[in-house]
């Protein structure tokens, strides 16, 4: 018997069914059902004999799922109904009692929260591995000079280690964001029922403890409608994917003939079907390209949730494909990034040659004037004129004669302390521009070493809490 006078239209079924994708909730659904059944028995809602049957049946379902021989029937609308259907086939009536004091509404919210928690932990592990790779790479390229860029124009030289470590901090923040998702999934939805609570005095805290939740959702209406943890995960994933994209983009640029700063290992590159000489950094390009896809999942989920009335609405079923795709994309990209960086090689000579452009010392020359009492803005103008004068003469700054310097920037000569522009010429030594960046967080070697020690500490490799 049923409420309906005719079977579902196949077109409606195709739209309504979620089993093709919510299948991957199965391990969480099983774990949840074990805990729910135990709670029912402890609370005197389910007989001990029925619990034994249910546990035995769920074990068999688990085995069938693990061994890939769980059969899905055309009428199985979602994984929750498929598991209950199979359980009842195996153990009979007891299986049909499992859904006592539970609705698919609190059930699915619980499964998804468990999945978000598992993958928030997984993302943190992958990020830790990536952060370790970056620190190792920075240590191996500690004092390799290269140009730092703004607007992709050479700006001031930095050490390659410093440049690489910039990504360490981006990924550290990503790790913190995924850690936040653990708090967001800490309140157990199960026990909220369809929306209003259930007609039994259940023990929700027992279920929470069994499943590793810190507490229970306080409001049943909120519990079944809440998907904030999906938004939080997608938001963390989108930001992380954006960082991976920025990293990928730099590697693509740096791999070009024009830059020639780095080369990815052959196993992370592919060739051209036409041009035999090509080696393309496809992995880095795809890291670059995936970010908008993940951000799109976040945007879609906001679209699904916005304007929804309380409480459960079928719209919520759309959360899964957004979430699963983001999980798969970001986990794959994090794995690739670690492996690609572990095997990348840098060209010390090319990096150094690009960093010998004396124009990169312009700020240092301006600061020399500042130290002699010239206001910074005035010094900026003087050095700007000096750089232009050198360009017009087709000369590097260090090639300018004393007469030319006298004409272009007389303030550079200190008649008493430095009559022969000695400090100016000393400044044009490359290492001087790097080692002058002594401020905290700057690129001088002392500061980079401090940064490395802090990074190691955060990875749990150094002294102090991580």
Other CB atoms within 10 A of residue 304 CB: 18
Residue 191 in contact with residue 202, Cβ under 8 Å?
yes
Which residue from 60, 317, 343, 363 is in contact with ligand ARG, where contact means CB under 6 A?
Answer: 317
**If residue 150 lies in a helix (H) or strand (E), which one and from where to where?**
strand 145-150
Q: Measured between alpha carbons, how far is residue 127 from residues 283, 329, 343 in Å?
A: 18, 14, 17
Q: What gap in Å lies between CA 74 and CA 13, rounded to an integer?
A: 9
Which residue from 99, 104, 154, 372 is in contact with ligand ARG, where contact means CB under 6 A?
Answer: 104
Residue 162 in contact with residue 443, Cβ under 8 Å?
yes
Helices (H), 257-318: 282-305
Nearer to ligand ARG, 25 or 361 (CB): 25
Nearer to ligand ARG, 242 or 317 (CB): 317
Residue 223 lies near ligand ARG (rule: CB under 6 A): no
Annotated catalytic, 20? no
Stretch that binds ligand ARG, among 120-128, 144-152, 311-319, 346-354 (CB under 6 A): 311-319
Spatial CA neighbour of 115 closest among 6, 173, 29: 29
Size of the site for ligand ARG (CB under 6 A): 9
Q: What gap in Å lies between CA 58 and CA 364, rounded to an integer?
A: 71
Residue 99 lies near ligand ARG (rule: CB under 6 A): no
Which residue from 53, 76, 78, 132 is in contact with ligand ARG, where contact means CB under 6 A?
Answer: 78
Stretch that binds ligand ARG, among 103-111, 366-374, 398-406, 428-436 (CB under 6 A): 103-111
Q: How far is the CB of 14 from ligand ARG (least distance, A)?
A: 14
Q: How far is the CB of 131 from ligand ARG (least distance, A)?
A: 35
Stretch that binds ligand ARG, among 229-237, 309-317, 332-340, 420-428 (CB under 6 A): 309-317
Residue 76 lies near ligand ARG (rule: CB under 6 A): no
Burial class of residue 189 in the structure, from the number of CB atoms within 10 Å of its CB (0-12 exposed, 13-18 middle, 19+ buried): buried
Other CB atoms within 10 A of residue 396 CB: 14
Residue 230 lies near ligand ARG (rule: CB under 6 A): no
Stretch that binds ligand ARG, among 100-108, 154-162, 255-263, 436-444 (CB under 6 A): 100-108
Stretch that binds ligand ARG, among 130-138, 238-246, 312-320, 418-426 (CB under 6 A): 312-320
Annotated catalytic, 151? yes
Q: How far is the CB of 22 from ligand ARG (least distance, A)?
A: 6
Residue 187 in contact with residue 216, Cβ under 8 Å?
yes
Q: What gap in Å lies between CA 328 and CA 336, rounded to an integer?
A: 12
Q: Measured between alpha carbons, how far is residue 446 from residues 162, 163, 185, 213 in Å?
A: 11, 15, 42, 45
**The one catalytic residue among 36, 43, 243, 272:** 272
Residue 84 lies near ligand ARG (rule: CB under 6 A): no
Other CB atoms within 10 A of residue 332 CB: 14
Q: What gap in Å lies between CA 355 and CA 29, rounded to an integer?
A: 57
Residue 28 lies near ligand ARG (rule: CB under 6 A): no
Nearer to ligand ARG, 30 or 316 (CB): 316
Q: What is the DSSP letter of 143?
A: T
Binding site for ligand ARG (CB under 6 A): 18, 22, 78, 104-105, 108, 312, 316-317
Which residues are designated catalytic? Answer: 151, 272
């Amino acid at each position: 018997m049923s409420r309906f006078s005719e079977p579902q239209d196949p077109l409606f079924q195709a739209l309504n069914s979620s089993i093709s994708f919510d299948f991957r909730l199965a391990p969480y659904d099983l774990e949840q059902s074990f805990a729910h059944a135990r709670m029912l028995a402890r609370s005197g809602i389910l007989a001990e004999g029925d619990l034994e049957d249910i546990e035995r049946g769920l074990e068999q379902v688990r085995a069938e799922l693990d061994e890939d021989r769980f059969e899905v029937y055309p009428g199985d609308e979602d994984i929750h109904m498929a598991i209950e259907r199979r359980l009842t086939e195996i153990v009979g009536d007891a299986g049909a009692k499992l859904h006592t004091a539970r609705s698919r509404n609190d059930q699915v919210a619980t499964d998804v929260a468990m999945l978000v928690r598992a993958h928030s932990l997984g993302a943190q592990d992958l990020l830790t591995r990536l952060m370790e790779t970056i620190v190792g790479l920075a240590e191996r390229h500690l004092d390799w000079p290269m140009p730092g860029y703004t607007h992709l124009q050479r700006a001031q030289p930095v050490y390659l280690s410093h440049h690489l470590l910039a990504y360490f901090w981006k990924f550290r923040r990503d790790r913190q964001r995924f850690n936040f998702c653990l708090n967001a999934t800490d309140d157990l939805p199960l026990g909220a029922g369809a929306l209003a609570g259930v007609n039994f005095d259940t023990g929700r805290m027992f279920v929470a403890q069994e499943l590793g939740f810190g507490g229970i959702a306080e409001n049943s209406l909120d519990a079944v409608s809440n998907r904030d943890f999906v938004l939080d995960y997608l938001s963390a994933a989108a930001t992380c994917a954006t960082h991976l994209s920025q990293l990928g983009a730099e590697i693509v640029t740096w791999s070009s003939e024009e830059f020639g700063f780095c080369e990815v290992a052959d196993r992370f590159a592919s060739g051209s079907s036409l041009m035999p000489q090509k080696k393309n950094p496809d992995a880095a390009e795809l890291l670059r390209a995936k970010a908008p896809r993940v951000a799109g999942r976040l945007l879609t989920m906001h679209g699904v949730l916005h304007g929804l009335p309380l409480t459960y609405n079928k719209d919520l079923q759309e959360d899964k494909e957004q979430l699963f795709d983001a999980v798969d994309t970001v986990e794959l990209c994090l794995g690739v990034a670690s492996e690609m960086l572990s095997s990348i090689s840098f060209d010390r000579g090319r990096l150094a040659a690009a960093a010998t452009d004396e124009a990169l010392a312009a700020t240092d020359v301006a600061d020399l004037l500042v130290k002699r009492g010239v206001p910074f803005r005035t010094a900026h103008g003087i050095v700007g004129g000096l750089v232009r004068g050198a360009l017009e003469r087709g000369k590097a700054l260090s090639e300018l004669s004393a007469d030319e310097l006298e004409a272009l920037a007389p303030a550079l000569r200190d008649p008493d302390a430095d009559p022969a522009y000695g400090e100016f010429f000393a400044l044009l030594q490359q290492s001087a521009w790097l080692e002058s960046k002594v401020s905290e967080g700057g690129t001088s070697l002392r500061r980079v070493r401090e940064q490395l020690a802090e990074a190691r500490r955060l990875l749990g490799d150094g002294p102090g809490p991580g």
